[in-house]
Structure 1
Amino acid sequence: MTQIDLSTREARWRHFGSVDPIKGTKPTEKENMPDLQSSKKDFLFEIEHVGIKNLIYPVRIDDFQTVGNFEFSTSLNQDEKGINMSRIIESVEKHYDNGVNLDFESLKALLNTLQSVMFQNTASVDVDAKWFFNRYSPITKQKAVGHADVRYILSVNNSKVTRKSLGIKVPVTTLCPCSKEISEYSAHNQRGIITVLIDLDTEITLPSDYKDIVLDGMEANASSMLYPILKRTDEKAVTERAYENPRFVEDLIRLVAADLVELDWIKGFEIECRNEESIHQHDAFARLKYNK
């Protein structure tokens, strides 16, 4: 067998099939390259949303840095072939400061930048992230970091906000009223998942703690909220509170809705409560939609 010198990276590359680049005939300078996306003619339809999905980027929510999964889009006029999608990332970078601030004012400023660089009238963002916050156990007040899933949806047309929505998803404890009623002792309980998607009034200024208000309406109406740390006295309090506040999914969804209806900065909402049943192989759920 012929001895081959594979002592360099380049030699090993060639050994595995790499070849020299060909001498091309197309331009290599940007100013000489054709820009197909900027082509102008009748392309039959205007497009409402065109952009990127699953953009993973660092974000900041209150005191914590976390990760957001973004969808960005703009409109596209009928006489334009496409958008320059790299400008979306460039717009995000202009608003990056150790993370993108995840609040409606910051997202609106980002969308305004996107409108400007894209020369489009409308722009939208839909982002999911993990919201972290400090949570204290009920009796011993042990501090630890709790979390919920949060979602921001925002759309603008020129300078006007056309959609402003907040989503929150959080696990809770639910204790079965029927089990408590028919059993001599004990009652089965399980983890419930509450999901809300709220349409906010674009004309009303939100309170600074709007996320906390919505989260309280979700957790306080459950049999019990969940805690990162529970000492023995905490566990007794949580268990007994759940027993004192049994909830069907039907009960829970109505109680959460009753709290949300009272908030004047909310125009409407969708709620789903789902129980991961502890004595069944299936889940139980209830879903409700309400518009004022």
Structure 2
Amino acid sequence: MEQLDLTTREGRFKHFGSVDPIEGKKPTEKECMADLQSSKKDFLFEVDSVGINNLSYPVVIGDYQSVGTFELATSLRRDEKGINMSRILESLETENDRGVSLDFTTLGNVLKTLRTRMHQEEAEITGTGKWYFPKPSPGTRLSGMAHADVEYALKIDGDGVQQKKLGMTAMVTTLCPCSKEISEYSAHNQRGYVKVLLDIDPEAELPEDHKEQLYQLLEINASSQLYPILKRTDEKMVTERAYENPRFVEDLIRLIAYDLVELDWVKGFELECRNEESIHQHDAFSRMSYQK
């Protein structure tokens, strides 16, 4: 048995099972390596989407840097075996300036680069992240950082936009109308989650403050809003507003839907409201979709 010098890292590695590299026979230069992905023959089917997902990447949303999660893909022709995955990250890197701006213009630039480098007609991207923004309390106007989850999804075919979607998930307060009606005093309330995914008209001009518009629309229809900082006078205002505006999840989803229908840049939407019930072990939810 070989005597190993355990005072060296090499010796310790071998002691724990490492072995010397073999003398390989395959090429080490790129030009000489086989390129299986570029193989050309009949592979039976076209593929709608092939790419990567669950990619964590820095993003810029509004005025702040955040952490985003991406899915990027292209189509694949029937006569091609595969795509070059590394080109996906290379395409995203072209728009990286201390993070990728999470907006349709930037994501469109990524897709144009990706489609060109992949030599494919279709390309798609979905990016999600947490949007941070200052939000003052209702009475004392003390500002703290609030947040909502946002999603931008874009798909192109050639030079045209095939699909454009905008999503947001915001937290709100809901107070139970039934509890208020039957109780001598008080009523139970809970934190609610409102999730919307908008189908955006590719030809419509998206307002610069579209995130703010959407967030306000989701909040204003709830019993009350959530705030980062509340003093006693603020808390009084928040709880009394909730008591004055009781909402079932069914109420909330219908009120939000009405406002969404009035936005001329929205073609349709999927909408869900979910309450973490404070007097039950389960949640309550309501869900709907609508196309103009």
Instruction: Give yes or no for TM over 0.5.
Output: yes
Q: Which amino acid aligns with 1:70?
A: F
**Partner secondary structure for residue 288 of structure 1:** strand
* Per-residue deviation, 1:10: 1.1
* Per-residue deviation, 1:281: 1.4
Q: Quick one: distance in 2 between partners of 1:272 and 1:14?
A: 57
Q: Quick one: distance in 2 between partners of 1:250 and 1:89?
A: 43
Q: Indicate the residue corresponding to 1:166 in structure 2.
A: 166
**1:111 lines up with 2:111 in the alignment:** yes
Let me know the Cα RMSD of the aligned residues.
1.1
Q: Indicate the residue corresponding to 2:266 in structure 1.
A: 266
CA separation of 1:214 and 1:263: change in aligned 2, threshold 3 A: same
Structure 2 matches for 1:6-85, cutoff 5 A?
A: 6-85=6-85
**1:147 lines up with 2:147 in the alignment:** yes
Q: TM-score, normalised by structure 2?
A: 0.98
Q: Quick one: distance in 2 between partners of 1:274 and 1:4?
A: 63
Kindly tell me the number of residue pairs found equivalent between the two proteins.
291
Instruction: Give a deviation string over 1:266-286, Cα, whole Å, max 9, x none.
Output: 000011011111111111111
Q: Which runs of 4+ in 1 moved over 4 A?
A: none
Q: Quick one: distance in 1 between partners of 2:182 and 2:15?
A: 76
Q: Quick one: distance in 2 between partners of 1:133 and 1:164?
A: 24
Q: Quick one: distance in 2 between partners of 1:4 and 1:140?
A: 72
Moved more, 6-15 or 97-106: 6-15
Q: Indicate the residue corresponding to 2:235 in structure 1.
A: 235
Q: Quick one: distance in 2 between partners of 1:231 and 1:274?
A: 27
Q: Quick one: distance in 2 between partners of 1:211 and 1:189?
A: 27
Q: Which amino acid aligns with 1:193?
A: Y
Instruction: Give a deviation string over 1:73-101, Cα, whole Å, max 9, x none.
Output: 00001110000000000111111000001
Structure 2 matches for 1:201-280, cutoff 5 A?
A: 201-280=201-280
Structure 1: which 5+ residue stretches go unaligned? none
Instruction: Give a deviation string over 1:109-142, Cα, whole Å, max 9, x none.
Output: 0000000100000100112111111111111111
Q: Which amino acid aligns with 1:163?
A: Q
Q: TM-score, normalised by structure 1?
A: 0.98
% identical aligned pairs: 65
Q: Quick one: distance in 2 between partners of 1:95 and 1:219?
A: 33
Q: Quick one: distance in 2 between partners of 1:119 and 1:54?
A: 24
* Per-residue deviation, 1:5: 2.9
**Partner secondary structure for residue 53 of structure 2:** strand
Q: Quick one: distance in 2 between partners of 1:195 and 1:162?
A: 23
Structure 2: which 5+ residue stretches go unaligned? none
Q: Quick one: distance in 2 between partners of 1:284 and 1:101?
A: 35
Q: Which amino acid aligns with 1:222?
A: A
Q: Quick one: distance in 2 between partners of 1:24 and 1:123?
A: 38
**Partner secondary structure for residue 242 of structure 2:** helix
